[in-house]
Structures are given as structure tokens and as C-alpha cells.
Structure 1
Amino acid sequence: MRLAFDNEKYLELQSKNILDRVSKFGNKLYIEFGGKLFDDYHASRVLPGFLPDSKLRMLLTLKDKVEVIIAINAKDILKNKMRGDLNINYETEVLRLIDAFRSSGLFVGSVCITQYQVAPQVASFKKKLNNLGVKTYLHYEIAGYPHDINNIISENGFGKNQYIETERPIVVVTAPGPGSGKMATCLSQLYHENKRGVKAGYAKYETFPIWSIPLKHPVNLAYEAATADLNDVNMIDPYHLEAYAVTAVNYNRDVEIFPVLKSMFEAIYGESPYKSPTDMGVNMAGFAICDDEAACQASKDEIIRRYLRSLVDLRNGKIGQEAVDKILLLMRQLNISVGDRKCVQAAVDKKKKSGTEAMALELEDGTIVTSRTTPLLSAPAALILNSLKTLAGIRDSIPLITPAIIEPISKMKIDKLGNHNPRLHADEILIALAISATTNPLADMALKQIDELKFTQAHSTVILPQVDSEVLKKLKIEVTTEPEFYAHKLYSK
């Protein structure tokens, strides 16, 4: 994979910039962390070389100075809001984040329940956190937030929130997902710190859009594609342009809220430390791009994938037609199309030729591998075997797993486990291959190629069952599908 991003340079620049920002305030900085800290796969796809846990690695360079507050909105607890990519609710995600931070060596100071309201589910979660030894604080809904500055910056506004006790100079405020109240938590803390004579600062850390590259750069357009359902729009920061005569990229929500934030800073401190929303940011990702051409190509590929996935989300009722149309418009701006994704047409052609559901995968060297659904194997399972054979230089006619292993598994699924589908899924075929590898040298040779599947591109002619989709994701295969259900069924397993 052609690298576009210098991750080591990024870590150095980013940590230095945050330390510089801390020094400008009363040695206390609250940083609102947007996006994902542990698994930022979007960034790693559009900026090859950016590690999915780069933000975490950066924090570890400052770990003795950092503590973490996790914000969760009480309304999300009541709605049992889910994190779709992990299929867990926000309460469970808070616990997962705490474990992940602690296991990495970062100090989690507390959890803040925002927009608190009395309800059994909220009380139960608070009690659970307390029983686990996690400090928990309550912040409340404020009438007129965010526009009624006089009420917000008063004892009836931020003043009624509990002050979160912190120990370290850099306080990272993160959350299980958007809308959790990270910014309000930071601002409330600034109010309380100022009352205690501490001139704490606020900063915002989001990777995208990247402020220091052009507005219509493919990397920034890929961010618009990723947030098409949120209707985020990249734009030139007008406040930054006016203050410094320098063009910087931001997005509509930050630009829209800046006058309010500026007024809050003025109400707390008497003046605002920032002249623009871009000023508030500390992101240095743009300065670590080392191959712009590679970043552009990776971003174009990501936009095409986003478009194909948006068609599936539309079919499943997760988004509206407007989001699909927005991504299509971005593709037209960049003069790219689905035809640029070679595995798409290869999968469609394989389906026409075989008369059944099919998949295709493009290896790093451009080789196309195809598969079809068979009586004993799903198309994803067959694709994994075919791809490993190709990588190992094993002839297609040579079986890696004997029917003596596959058929009993298939029979068990039907006779004992109550499945209607006898075909082996991707996880089952990998287990069968691992068993075969203990006695079959060719199977062992093929299995050793599994890491070579990372970052390959694949396409399916049908929406994949969750079990197959998750296995391909774990193998880091970039998969897209047609917006069609298998055999016209609405449910499959």
C-alpha cells in the first residue's frame, strides 16, 4: 500500500501543539475530542499510513499530563442508543472505553452524565459506575442553550452543574458517540474553573475536515461523503479569513456555533482567546501528509465505497435519498465513478456467468479473484479460499479442505443447530482451513497468506449476512455490496 501519511511526524507535531496550547492558558486545557480515538478507520483509509489508534498513541506521549472524562447523554441512555459499528449500546461503550483507556495506561478521571434527568435507567447506570469505582458527575439541561448567554453563564446555567474534580493539566473530554454533550461539558468546566481563579482553556481536536489543505481536496470531500447523512458541509472559515487574511477549512456546524462560543468566552473571561473556529482546533494532520497524490487516490476510492454503502443504507431505510445524491455529486466533482472500482464489475460479470450470487476481490498487485455461491460454501467463504490459493500460488483445482471436513460441519448446521442454510460462512471456513492446515501442507501454506488480504478491495452482488461481513472486516478487507438481498429474502443468517 502506497503511504500518504507520516504517522511519526504527526505524533510529534500533534503532541507539541497541544503542549503549546496548554501553556497559553492557566496550565489547564479541556480538549473536546471528536471522532474515534481507538479505531479511526476512516482516517486510515483516506490517509494511508495514519494508524487507526493514532490519537491514542499521541495521548500516550503525554500520558502523565492527561486525564479523561467520558460524557454520556442521559437521553441516549433512555433511548438505549447503539453504536452501529460495534452493535453495543452507549452505556456498554462507556465501559469499553474506560477499559481501553486504562489498559493503554491513560487515567480515566470520571464519567459525566449530561442533560441529566431522573429515570430508573439513568439511576441504574450511575449506580453501576459508582459500584465499579468510577466517579460520576451530573450536568443538567439549561434553558435556552446555546443561545441565551446570560442564563447559561449564570448560577442557573452552568452554575447548577456539578464541578468535575480533575487532577492533571490536559483533560480530554470524549464520548461514546455524537450528541453526548462534550462541548457543553468543557464549557461548564471553564465556568467553574474561572470561579476558582483558574483561567483554563478550551480546544477542539477533530481530524476532519483538515483545515490546512484546500476546501475541495479529495481528503476533505471524503469527510463530506462520510457525514452525508448528517448534512455536514465543508466551508471556508469566514472568521479566520477576516481576522488573518488566511484561508482555512472548517465545517458548517463549527462556523455556525462560533459566535455563540465567542460570546460565552467573553462572558466567562471578559474576552475571547479565539478569533475563529479554526483557532480553537489543534489538529496537525495536514502537515503530516507526505504523498498528496496517494492521499487523493485513497480518498477517491473511499468516496466510491461510501456511495456504494449509501445505496445499501438507503435500501435498509437508514438514510434518505438526499445523502446518496450528495455523495454522487461529490463523485461527479472529482470525475470518478463506480466503474473505477474494478472488483464491482468483476463480481457482476461472475454472477452473470455462474447464474448465482458472486464476489470479486482485487489483490494489491491488481489481480482479480472471483467466487460464487456453491452448495457447501457461501460466496465470501469461497472468496477467502480462492484468494489465499492465489496468494500462495496453489492451482485452483487443488482442494485445500476435503469434503470429509466440510460436509459434517454442514450437516451439523442443519440437523443439530436448526439452520436452513447448509453453506459454510467465512468464519466457519477459516476454522475448517485451520484444522486442515495441521495435516495438509498446502492448507498451511494458504493460511499463512491471510495477512496479505489486508487492505484488498472486494465486492458482493448481494448484501452480506452479518457473520460474513464481520469476518471480512476483521481481515481488513474493504468490502462493498450491491443493494440487493440474497435470493430476494429480507433476512438471512
Structure 2
Amino acid sequence: MRIGFDNDKYIALQAEHIRERIGQFGGKLYLEFGGKLFDDHHASRVLPGFQPDSKIRMLKQFADDVEIIVAINANDIEKNKMRGDLGITYDEDVLRLLDIFANMGFATAGVVITRYENQPSAAAFRQKLSSLGVKSYLHYPIAGYPYDIARINSDDGFGKNEFVETTRPLVVLTAPGPGSGKMATALSQLYHEHKRGVEAGYAKYETFPIWNLPLKHPVNVAYEAATVDLDDANAIDPFHLEAYGVTTVNYNRDIEIFPVLKSMLEGILGESPYQSPTDMGVNMAGLAICDDDACRDAAKMEIVRRYFTAAVDQRRTGTHLDQVQRLELLMNQVGVDANFSPARKAALLKEEATGAPAGAMVLPDGRVVTGKTSNLLGAASSLLMNALKGVSGVDEDLFVISDEVIEPICKLKKNTLHANNPRLHSDETLLALSVSSATDPVAKELIDHAGDLHGCDAFFSVIISETDEKLYRTLGINVCCEPKYEKRRFFHK
């Protein structure tokens, strides 16, 4: 797998730039983090070499100077809004984040519940935080937000919000997801800080789109693909172009809100330190790309993955056809189609040859292995075994797990657990392989190489089960499926 991104250079550049920005504001900076603060797997896929925990590793260089504020929208608590990638609610994710920050040695200033209007679930969550010893603060809806600047920058606007006491020079604002109110929380803090005579500033750390890459660079187009459900769109930053005569890229929401944000900053600070949304950002990712072609190819593959994810979702729900169509346009923009991954062609050919669901995977060295449905193993299990053999150097035709091990499991599933499908799922196959490894050195060799599949691309000729998909994603394998079911019926599980 080609490396296109220098992660060490990125961390060093990023830390240096943030230090400069802290100094620009007299020693205190509120830094809003867009996207994921850690577990940024999208960035690691489109910038091969980027580590998913790069941002948090960079912040560790400031460990003694950092405090973290977590923002959550009260309406999201009330609606039980979920993080699709983790399968937990936003309020649960706040607790998860607090645990992670504590384990990493970061100080947390508290949790801000934004847009609070006495929602019962939000009030209950605040009580829960209190019982856990976590400080929480309430921020309220402001009439006319974000356009009534005079009201916003007044005691009837930001002045109503509870102030979070912080003592460190870098205050990081993060959240479980978009729409949580991070920017409004940062500006509210600035308002209160300046009323108290404390110099402080605001900046934004948004990895994508990358401001110094071309508008239609595949890495930036991949960001549009990743946010197709939010209707985000990349655009030339007109404010930066007018102020400096330099073409940079930002995204529509930041460009649209910038005049309002600039007016807010002028009302709080006396004058705005920024002339454009690009000015406001601190992202150095574009300067750490060391192989542009590798990043272009990786981003193109990500756009294709996003297309199949949307197509499968559309098949499951019957909705969001517009998202599938937009992703088709984005694939056209970067010159690829649904066959960009060699795994798709291999999986479909295998299905045609066997008459049953099949899968294929591109291994780290570029080889493509396939897996077919058998009496004992599903396509996902078969592919996983063959992929493990491939990275371990074991003959694909060698039977590693004996039928004597597999058959009792299948019998248990069918006769005792009343499963409709007696074949082993991939997690069950991995457990059977693990049991075999106690006495079989070949099985142990396969288990030891499971980590080598991280980052590989797998494609299946049908929509696989949630169980199989979860196991593949746990191993770090990128999964795509043809948007069709194995059987024609109304209910699929």
C-alpha cells in the first residue's frame, strides 16, 4: 500500500502552527475541532499514511496546556440521536469521550448542553453528569441567531449562557457530531472572557476540505462524498480571494456563515482577526502530502466506497436515491466508476461461476483473493479464511479448520439456536480458527496475521449480514457490497 502522507511532519507542523495562533491572541485560544478528534478513519483512507489518532497525538504535545470542553445539543439528547459509526447515542458518546480524555491525561473543563429549553431528557442527562462528578453548563437558544448580532453580543444573548471557567492557554471544543453547537460555545466563551478583561481568540481545526489543494482534487471531492447526507459542497473561498488574491478551498457552510461570524468577532473583540474562513483555519494537512498520486488514488477509492454504502442504504430503506445519484456525479468528476476496485469484478465473476454469493479482497501486495459460499461457510467467512491464508503465505487449498470443528457449530446454530442460516458467520469462523490454533501451528499463523488485513478492500456480490460487516470493520477491512440481497423477500436480517 503506497504511502502518500508524512504523518510525523504533519504533527510537527500542526503543533507549531497552533502555538503561533495561541500567541496571536495574547496567550489563550478557543480551538473548535471539526470532524473527529480521534478515530479519523476517513482521513487515514484518503491520506494513506495519516494515522487515525494523529490529532490527539498532536494535542498530547500540549497536554499540560490543554483543557477540553465537550458540547452536545439538548435536542439531540431528546431525539436519542445516534452515532452511526459506533451505534451509540450522542449522550452516551459524551461519556465515552470523557473516559478517553481522562485515560489520556487531558483535563476536561466540562460539558456544555447547548440550545437548552428544559427538555426532559437533557435535564436527566445533566443530573447524570452531576452524579458522576462532571461539571455541566447550560447554553440557551438566542432569538435571531445567528443574524441579530446586536442581540447575540449582549446580556440577552451570549450573556445568558453559563460561563465555563478555564485556566489553560488552549481550550479545545469537541462534540459527538455535527450541529452540537461548538462554534456558538466558543464565541460565547469569548464574549464572557472579554467582559472579564481576558484576551482570547478563536480558530477552527477542520481537516477537510484541504484549503491548499485544488477544488476538484479527489481528496476534496472525497470529503463531499463523505458528507453527501449533509449537502456540504466545496467552493472557492471568495473572501480569501478578494482579501489576498489567492485561491483557496473551503466548504459552503463556513463560507455562508463567515460574514455573520466576522460581525460577531468584531462585536466581541472590536475588530475581526480574520478576513476569510481560510484565515480562521489552522489545518496543515495539505503541507504533509508526500505522494500526490497515492492520495488521489486512495481518495478515488473512498468515493467509490461511499457510493456503494449509499446504494446499499438506499436498497435497505428505499430512500435517499438523490444521495446515490450525487455520488455517481462525484465519481464522474474524478474519472472513476463502480468498477474502480478490482475486488468488485472478481466477486461478481466468482458468483457467476458458482451460482452463489461470493466475495473478493485486495491484499496489501495487490493480489486479489476470492471466497465462495459453501455448505458450512458463508461467503464472508470463506473470503476471510482465504485472505488470511494469502497474507500468511499458506496454500489456499489447505483446510485449516476441520469439518469436525465446524459441523457441531452449524448443528448448534440450526437445531438449538434455530438460526435460519446454519453456515458460520465470519466472527464464528474466527473463533473456530482461534480454538484450532491451540493445537495447529498453521491456524495460529493465520490468527497472527489478522492485523495484516487492516486497510484492505473487500467486495461482496450481495449485501452481507450486519454480523459479518461488523467483524470486517473491526479488523479494519473496508467493506463494499453490491446493492442486492441474496434472496428476494420483504424482511432481511
1:110 alignment partner AA: G
The worse-fitting range, judged by mean Cα deviation, of 80-89 and 451-460 is 451-460
Cα displacement (A) at 1:394: 2.9
* Separation (CA, whole Å) in 2 of partners of 1:25 and 1:242: 24
2:206 alignment partner AA: E
Match of 1:456 in 2: 456
Match of 2:328 in 1: 328
* Separation (CA, whole Å) in 1 of partners of 2:319 and 2:63: 39
* Separation (CA, whole Å) in 2 of partners of 1:199 and 1:110: 21
Match of 2:401 in 1: 401
TM-score normalised per structure 1:
0.98
The worse-fitting range, judged by mean Cα deviation, of 273-282 and 446-455 is 446-455
Cα displacement (A) at 1:62: 0.7
* 1:68-147 to 2 correspondences below 5 Å: 68-147=68-147
Deviations 1:14-70 (A, max 9, x none): 111111111111311111111011210000000001000111001111111101000
Cα displacement (A) at 1:452: 2.0
Match of 2:21 in 1: 21
SS in 2 for 1:162: coil
The RMSD of aligned alpha carbons is 1.3
Deviations 1:330-377 (A, max 9, x none): 221222112221110111111111111111111122222111222211
2:86 alignment partner AA: L
Match of 1:148 in 2: 148
Deviations 1:112-142 (A, max 9, x none): 0000121321121101101111100000011
2:38 alignment partner AA: F
* Separation (CA, whole Å) in 2 of partners of 1:415 and 1:108: 52
* Separation (CA, whole Å) in 1 of partners of 2:262 and 2:117: 29
Match of 1:286 in 2: 286
* 1:285-324 to 2 correspondences below 5 Å: 285-317=285-317, 320-324=320-324
CA shift in 2, pair 1:490/1:373, >3 Å: farther
Match of 2:215 in 1: 215
Match of 1:481 in 2: 481
How many residues are matched? 493
* Separation (CA, whole Å) in 1 of partners of 2:274 and 2:259: 11
SS in 2 for 1:172: strand
- Note if contact 1:310-1:319 (Cα within 8 Å) is conserved in structure 2: no
Deviations 1:153-212 (A, max 9, x none): 111111110111112111101000110000110011111111001121000001000001
* Separation (CA, whole Å) in 2 of partners of 1:318 and 1:172: 40
Give yes or no for the alignment of 1:375 onto 2:375.
yes
Match of 1:10 in 2: 10
1:426 alignment partner AA: S
CA shift in 2, pair 1:19/1:393, >3 Å: closer
- Note if contact 1:384-1:426 (Cα within 8 Å) is conserved in structure 2: yes
- Note if contact 2:75-2:119 (Cα within 8 Å) is conserved in structure 1: no
Cα displacement (A) at 1:455: 1.6
Cα displacement (A) at 1:396: 3.3
The worse-fitting range, judged by mean Cα deviation, of 175-184 and 477-486 is 477-486
Match of 1:419 in 2: 419
* 1:144-223 to 2 correspondences below 5 Å: 144-223=144-223
- Note if contact 1:486-1:492 (Cα within 8 Å) is conserved in structure 2: no
TM-score normalised per structure 2:
0.98
CA shift in 2, pair 1:40/1:491, >3 Å: farther
* Separation (CA, whole Å) in 2 of partners of 1:393 and 1:236: 49
The worse-fitting range, judged by mean Cα deviation, of 354-363 and 369-378 is 369-378
* Separation (CA, whole Å) in 1 of partners of 2:197 and 2:314: 52
| % identical equivalent positions | 56
2:186 alignment partner AA: C
Cα displacement (A) at 1:319: 5.7
CA shift in 2, pair 1:490/1:433, >3 Å: farther
Match of 1:248 in 2: 248
2:51 alignment partner AA: L
Give yes or no for the alignment of 1:436 onto 2:436.
yes
Cα displacement (A) at 1:492: 4.6
Match of 1:42 in 2: 42
Q: Which residues of structure 2 form unaligned runs of 5+? A: none
* Separation (CA, whole Å) in 2 of partners of 1:390 and 1:435: 20
- Note if contact 2:115-2:139 (Cα within 8 Å) is conserved in structure 1: yes
2:452 alignment partner AA: E
Deviations 1:259-318 (A, max 9, x none): 000111111122111111111100010111111111111111111111111211222338
